[in-house]
């Protein structure tokens, strides 16, 4: 497994573009992205579990019934959710780009992100479609920028790996900063690969992976309405098709997990107003379900998040969050550590406080990346969850998000 450049354009046969078409008033911000495979690809997606779903998700689910896709179009600045003509607009988006690319509209994945409840005018997309297609190239940064909303950083990664003696590539881009909470999927993530894998195994890979990655990320406890993770595999690496859970599939899963964990960390660390990436590692759980629920309870706690913002080693809030996780854990066995580049410190042993240096703890917690390490000492299962601190700026950003 080797990290490479190129994002979603690293795999063979994939191109992307991103432009400002006029959906957003700020002309310096791109607002329309396109990812295109030169050949038809197997495709898989997972979607938000919010009962209120954006129109693009409804259209994309219909388009992916055959497990095939060739393009992804995504606009930012408007979520196309709770609009009377939302389905019509989402279908028009796929029709417009399909016409420009000379492919079937059924082979287009449609996505939108931005403000909920504002009508989406199709005119800028109509006017920008030709430019979007003619801007296609191997530079994935433009598409990564065009899907951003309150994100402050481009989120992209690519890897190279070998299957069946053939060199394969996988790349991904993501957006996600606010309305991030574990309930699949809580962001927009688009992944491409030239690996030859059946649609059934592609869906299995994605559905399996997200339970350990994107479903373990939380910024603010709000599950969004529009978000999805989609992957296209066009097979141009020409490896023997992966059709079963064998060693080749495990290699594919490792590549996918490398992409998704990296993007999870990017999303959590770039949470709205955040100053710190929090990584909660829970071990010693009697079941994987217990480990996950404990980790998510900690990472979602507003009081834990604010303590981390203030670099306050208030470990009691972590015990509190474990206590309301609804998991039957032995409180008198729990150990808690804080760790960063400045070192590691034990703050709780067997569910009770221990003497520790407040100065050393403060030094550790002032770093940009912090590990909250919890050992339940009650089993062999472990997991990791990602989040961020909660700051004054989160309120400022969301207090006037729409206006």
The answer to whether 43 and 109 have CB atoms below 8 angstroms apart is: yes
Catalytic residue flag (residue 113)? no
Rg of the chain over CA atoms, in angstroms? Answer: 22
Asked whether the beta carbons of 280 and 299 are under 8 A apart, the reply is: yes
**Backbone phi, then psi, for 185, in 5-degree steps?**
-105, 150
Strand order in the sheet with 277-285: 352-353, 343-349, 335-340, 369-375, 277-285, 381-388
- Spatial separation of the C-alpha atoms in residues 180 and 166, rounded to whole Å: 37
Both ends of the chain: CA-CA distance in Å? 45
Which H or E element spans position 162?
A: strand 155-163
Helix (H) / strand (E) element for 383: namely strand 381-388
Q: CA angle, 354 as apex, 353 and 359 as ends, to 5°?
A: 105
The residue behind tokens 């990436």 is 277
DSSP state of 185: -
Residues, the chain: 403
* Residue at token pair 């141009």: 236
Tokens 């407040």 belong to residue: 358
**Beta-sheet pairing, 155-163 with 108-115:** unpaired
Q: Which of 186, 223, 225, 251 is catalytic?
A: 186
Q: List, by residue number, the catalytic residues.
A: 186
């Amino acid at each position: 497994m080797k990290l490479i450049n190129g994002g979603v354009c690293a795999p063979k046969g994939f191109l992307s573009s991103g432009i400002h078409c006029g959906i957003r008033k700020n002309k310096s911000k791109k607002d329309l992205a396109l990812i295109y495979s030169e050949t038809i690809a197997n495709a898989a997606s997972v979607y938000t579990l919010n009962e209120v779903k954006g129109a693009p998700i409804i259209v994309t689910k219909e388009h992916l019934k055959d497990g095939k896709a060739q393009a992804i179009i995504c606009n930012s600045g408007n979520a196309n959710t709770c609009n009377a003509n939302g389905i019509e607009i989402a279908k028009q988006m796929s029709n417009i780009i399909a016409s420009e690319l000379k492919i079937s509209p059924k082979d287009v994945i449609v996505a939108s992100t931005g403000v909920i409840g504002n009508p989406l005018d199709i005119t800028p997309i109509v006017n920008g479609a030709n430019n979007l297609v003619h801007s296609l190239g191997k530079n994935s940064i433009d598409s990564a920028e065009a899907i951003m909303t309150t994100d402050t950083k481009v989120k992209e990664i690519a890897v190279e790996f070998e299957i069946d003696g053939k060199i394969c590539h996988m790349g991904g881009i993501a957006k996600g900063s606010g309305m991030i909470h574990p309930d699949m999927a809580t962001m927009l993530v688009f992944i491409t690969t030239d690996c030859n894998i059946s649609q059934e195994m592609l869906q299995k890979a994605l559905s399996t992976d997200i339970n350990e990655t994107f479903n373990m990320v939380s910024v603010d406890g709000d599950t969004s309405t529009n978000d999805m993770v989609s992957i296209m595999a066009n097979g141009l690496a020409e490896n023997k098709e992966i059709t079963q859970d064998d060693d080749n599939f495990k290699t594919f899963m490792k590549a996918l997990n490398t992409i998704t964990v990296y993007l999870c960390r990017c999303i959590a660390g770039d949470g709205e107003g955040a100053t710190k990436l929090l990584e909660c590692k829970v071990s010693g759980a009697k079941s994987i379900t217990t480990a996950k629920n404990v980790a998510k309870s900690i990472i979602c706690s507003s009081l834990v998040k604010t303590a981390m913002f203030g670099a306050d080693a208030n470990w009691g809030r972590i015990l509190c969050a474990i206590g309301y996780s609804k998991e039957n854990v032995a409180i008198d066995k729990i150990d808690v550590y804080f760790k960063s580049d400045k070192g590691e410190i034990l703050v709780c042993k067997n569910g009770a406080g221990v003497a520790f240096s407040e100065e050393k703890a403060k030094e550790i917690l002032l770093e940009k990346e912090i590990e909250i390490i919890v050992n339940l000492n009650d089993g062999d299962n472990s997991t990791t969850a990602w989040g961020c601190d909660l700051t004054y700026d989160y309120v400022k950003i969301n207090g006037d998000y729409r206006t």
